[in-house]
Amino acid sequence: GIFIAYTSVYGNTKKAVLLLADELKKNGCPKVVVTDLARSDMAEAVEDAFRYSKLVLATTTYNGEIFPFMREFIHHLTERNYSNRTVAFIENGSWAPVAARIMKSQFEKSKNLTYTDTTVKIMSALNDESIAQVKALAAELCK
């Protein structure tokens, strides 16, 4: 299955995540679970990340960093030796999105992680280009 963990400030990252979940289901992915890290139990989110073989992390660039709930979530994963999985990223930022690069760097000590070729880049809200990236990511994850 695929676990999608996200944080969204104005709802645009959430819209991308819901579009991805719909596309994954259309492509025949057997199990897709979505969690809003700001509104869910962190322990359950960590459990789900270990339960499934594929993880999608979606967040906003926030003060040149990533949103705090996402940073905390990734910390919980890495301190528990998160490994042997496929990880994908969706980043959102109005003028200088750096969330994907920051999230990936936080996994540098993790072993045997495979990163998708597709990273979705949203500039505030979905547009034709980022919608195409979401669809490409869905196709890549369902291989």
Q: Per-residue pLDDT tens for 13-63?
A: 999 999 999 999 999 998 999 999 999 999 999 999 999 999 999 999 988
Query: What is the rounded distance in angstroms from the CA atom of residue 44 to the CA atom of residue 46?
Result: 5
* pLDDT recorded at residue 35: 98
State the pairing for strand pair 54-62/65-66.
antiparallel
Q: Are 52 and 12 in contact (CB under 8 A)?
A: no
Neighbouring-strand partners of residue 33: 3
Q: How far is CA 48 from CA 16, 103, 122, in A?
A: 20, 18, 25
Does the pLDDT value for residue 134 go beyond 90? yes
Query: What is the rounded distance in angstroms from the CA atom of residue 97 to the CA atom of residue 77?
Result: 23
* pLDDT recorded at residue 44: 97
